[in-house]
Structure 1
Amino acid sequence: MRSRFSATLGVALSLLALPAAVQAQSASLGDFPAQSVERQALDRIVAVVNQGAIMDSELEARLAQVRGQLAGRGIQAPGEAALREQVLERMIVEEIQLQRAEEANLSVDETELNRAVRSVAQSNGMGLEQFADALEADGLSLAQVREDIRRELLLRELVQREVASRITISEREVDRFLEQQGEAGDVRYRLGHILVALPQSPSSDRVQAAQREVRRLAEELAGGADFAALAAAHSDGGQALEGGDLGWRAAGELPSLFVDVVPGLAVGEVSEPLRSPSGFHLVKLVERQGGQGMAAEAQRQQARERLFQRKVNEEIETWLQEIRGQAFVDVRL
């Protein structure tokens, strides 16, 4: 959707993609006007993903939406070739997840979907009818957006099944967390992130190439380059097309890799390159809030929630790399 809508469902709906309508296979060419036939004939496959395919028309629709999002956030868009690669890669990973959800017979209940659609409308300060009118004014439809939200809910259910369900938090972990956090437990950080990814079991040449790339990016940032623009153009992280924005994280929700680094950064400062199994990271402290103590009776439950979210965040990136590596993908840009 256009950037004037802040679509949130409790988990970020980072993109509400609007793929072109798929024509019914049984329809004859005579059922379409000549212009529609020409557009259909010009469409082509840009990626084969297992038994599925992503069409050029779908990619173009997503590109238009991403350009609008970047412009709305004041982020300079990458070059056209880089942007197409970034967006297509995101679509490929989404397609793999949707296929896995279908294989697992996951579905979204209509009541849950209706509740989520109303929540998006309310988050934009509108009732459902107003929301539908606003979408129509932007050339969209409520039916399209319902399907986009259905997809996001399905992906959330898949993550719950394949990632979050494996995570447990022990009482000992809670105790240790509270001891480590101390007075810092109430601090919140807004972070920017750039990832130069590595595959599983990378060769030494691949590791060295990634090291050179992350150092080059660090040097550009030290020379005054815009962090969000570099993230959009070069990061392999899931938030690349949001300028690498990780949003606000409580101290206890920081990825383990960042725990010892972020508190020592000044606002606006970028870390040195950090190594993890998924690759090399640059993290920027955009803003900092808090530092006041909280009610003692709430600390333990909050600690549990933060530990759980930290583990989920750490596992998702690895899981996405795993399922991407297991899939058959043929890119045809």
Structure 2
Amino acid sequence: MTNLITKLSASALALMLALPVQAQDTLSADSVVATINGTEITLGHMLMIRASLPDQYQQLPDEVLWDGILDQIVQQTVLSQQDSGEESRRVQLALENERRALMAAQVIEDIVDDAVTDEAVQALYEETYLQGEPTEEFNASHILVATQEEAAAIAEEVRGGADFATVAQEKSTGPSGPNGGQLGWFGPGMMVPEFQTAVEGMEIGAISDPVQTQFGWHVIKLNEKRVQAAPELASVREELEATLSQDAVSQRIDELTASADVTRTAKEEVDTSVLSNLGLLEE
């Protein structure tokens, strides 16, 4: 929307003043707020535009939005009433697509409303975060080299008192070398299996024997480990609601599609380049 929102239109003001004054509680979506060459514009038309405005316009006062929205409708209406504004094939198809999309969105909204309840969110939270064994996380450092012999010599060196971080900076070929080999915190499945298995079997402060992975040979030091606490429900509620919504909508779509009588033109039977031929809309 352009500066129609912010500029007061004399024509819109005249239309407003011509209307009988009605208390807010007597208005309905069918209340007529303007008439243009016999075409009635209702409060419902205005409300639909209001609901679809970008966020930056949603914050504007209602008295400003009223003028801008009514201006827009009046101007669109007088344009659409011209001979050149007849309902072309493009417009017909666009309206059919828009109607289909809006009706589908309404059904999806109903599905989500039924699926996303406090009880469902709580149940999914408990299933996701409170059941099963607590997740253990690890904080480790490593030194990566090319051969087992190099790794064995390094393991002996750091066990003998050499500073692990300093040796990592000097000898590690991995990207964490300049940072002293520090890998930070990670949980199950975040490292390659051989590395993960070695770390899970270590005690805090221990230095591993050489561990081979697809990247080379590692000497690992386990710095810390902890049990990951379950997050508060409030912090993951949005994520849980999204999961419930997606699952419910996908399930319902699968059910409806499976029970529908659907026929498709096989892709092999058409030249799919026709999809770029927008000129067909003019025929």
Q: Which TM-score tier does this pair reach, normalised by the shorter chain?
A: 0.3 to 0.5
* Structure having greater relative contact order (Cα 8 Å, sep ≥ 6): 1
- Normalised to the residue count of structure 2, the TM-score between the two structures is 0.34
Larger Rg: 2
TM-score by length of 1: 0.29
